Amino acid sequence: MHRDRSTRLAAGAFVAIAAAGLSPVAAAVLEQQGPDAVYRVPIVGVIELGLAPFVERSLEEARESGASAVVLDIDTPGGRVDAAERMADAISDSEVPVYAYINRRALSAGALISLAAQRIYMRPGSVIGAATPVTGEGQRAPEKIVSAMRSSMRALAEARSLDPAVAEAMVDEQIEVPGVSEAGQLLTLTTEEAVDLAYAEEVDDWNALMATLGTTGGQVVDQEVNWAERLVRFLSNPVVSPFLLSLGFLGLLVEIRTPTFGLAGAVGVTSLALFFGSHMLVGLAGLEGLIIFGLGITLMLIEAFFIPGFGIFGILGGIGALAGVYMSMLGGLPVSGDFARAGTVLSSALALVLVGSWLMVKRLPSNRRLTNLGIFLGEETSAETGYTSQVRRPDLVGREGVALTDLRPAGTARFGDERVDVVTESEWIEEGSRVSVVASEGYRHVVRVIEAPRELMKARESEAGTGSGQG
């Protein structure tokens, strides 16, 4: 129920954004359409979740304008099952009659969308069927998923008074339809076969279809994806999503290393907002995923700023952030292919984050241009910023000096005429001990004891006694 409500809210937001993307000319055309107008909605190419809101918007505009019909111009090899089911629901619930015009092929998810229409029309040489769901690796989905798809196809066929066995045979090759297909063969119908089975009517072209529907005198409104829908579909594309995630995480990592909020943090927050916003608008992400991600980031920030080391807060924060991202890429029917697809996107994003983090730590801070822009700190900044970094001193390694304070484990030692803040390897070192620098790590100069004060005193007493005897 909560998922359905989130999906409806996201769909409403998407329609609002899409309406805002209409040009003044398109808006004027929308106002002038009469009751005989026919909406032509193209469903071309691979079906993905970004296409579902476009179909929903088109159906809503057709209803508001009082159009006489909506024709789905279909030529698709298939795509996501969850996207097809969302489109099929919108078509079934449409107040305006919806017809499917198969213009070459309606395979897999395209067959499901076609069966949701009130009537199917096919041009010569077209095909429909081959609707077995597959995983992201191209393998047949588990029986649970196949069964759900088979039931959906059967229900749509029954609602249109069509032979349900034919629809089931398009999904499951084990179903035999006497005189049509044998067991072990997945059913795909040609135009002639679909006509013989009363699944479709044949029309030569678009004009013939309009004549069949009795709408030859009406205006044809060609629906197109507007700039707002293109933007959202681009941002939610599985190729673009990993880059948005990577920029988001890297921006936050850079910001943690800097004393103020700057360009890197702004880029990170904007990238994450675009990622989650686009996925929410296409119905993938829900509020629960965004909340879990936010809690994860909060726990990691607590770990970074308030708790030393890396413990339970960091672990839980990392799990929460990854879970929120993962949930935002699933949405709808939990097809195993969707899990594989989400895992691929997430793995790509993590790989980019790891590579980017290595470059950030090892290479980029030495880039003078980035340092001047304030993205990375140099060895020191102005007094107004209030931060000065310790200069690296590799020349101190190997030098011997004297501890001016007790080192427990940190303190001060003198090397020649220079006072230096130092820290011991592990044990405490008494004041006056002779020490040697074994490592210089920026602000940490690690020392090791050479002689303790008591040993120095005994050595001096021994030298004094020897000198007295000689005299």
Per-residue model confidence as pLDDT tens digits over 269-319: 787 777 777 766 655 555 666 677 778 777 777 766 666 555 677 777 777
pLDDT for the residue 192: 95
pLDDT for the residue 305: 64
Question: Residue 354 is encoded by which pair of tokens?
Answer: 């790891």
The CA angle 267-271-277, to the nearest 5 degrees, is: 145
8 A C-beta contact, residue 87 and residue 51: yes
| pTM for this model (two decimals) | 0.57
pLDDT for the residue 43: 94
pLDDT for the residue 121: 97
pLDDT digits (tens, 9 = 90+) for 428-440: 888 888 899 888 8
pLDDT for the residue 442: 65
pLDDT digits (tens, 9 = 90+) for 116-171: 999 999 999 999 999 988 876 667 888 888 898 999 999 999 999 999 999 999 99
pLDDT for the residue 143: 86
Q: What is the residue-wise DSSP string for 383-411?
A: TTTT-BPPPP-GGGTT-EEEESS-BSSEE
Distance CA 286, CA 11 (A): 12
pLDDT for the residue 459: 59
Sign of the Cα pseudo-torsion (316, 318, 320, 323, in order)? negative
Distance CA 53, CA 86 (A): 9
pLDDT for the residue 206: 92
Q: List the chain residues with pLDDT less than 50.
A: 1-11, 13-33, 331-340, 342, 358, 361, 370, 373-380, 383, 385-388, 468-471
- Best CA proximity match to 39, nearest among 50, 29, 28: 29
Residue with tokens 């594989």: 340
Strand partners, 447: 424, 437
Q: What is the largest CA-CA distance in the chain?
A: 132
pLDDT for the residue 60: 93
- Best CA proximity match to 58, nearest among 13, 90, 103: 90
- Best CA proximity match to 35, nearest among 55, 11, 63: 63
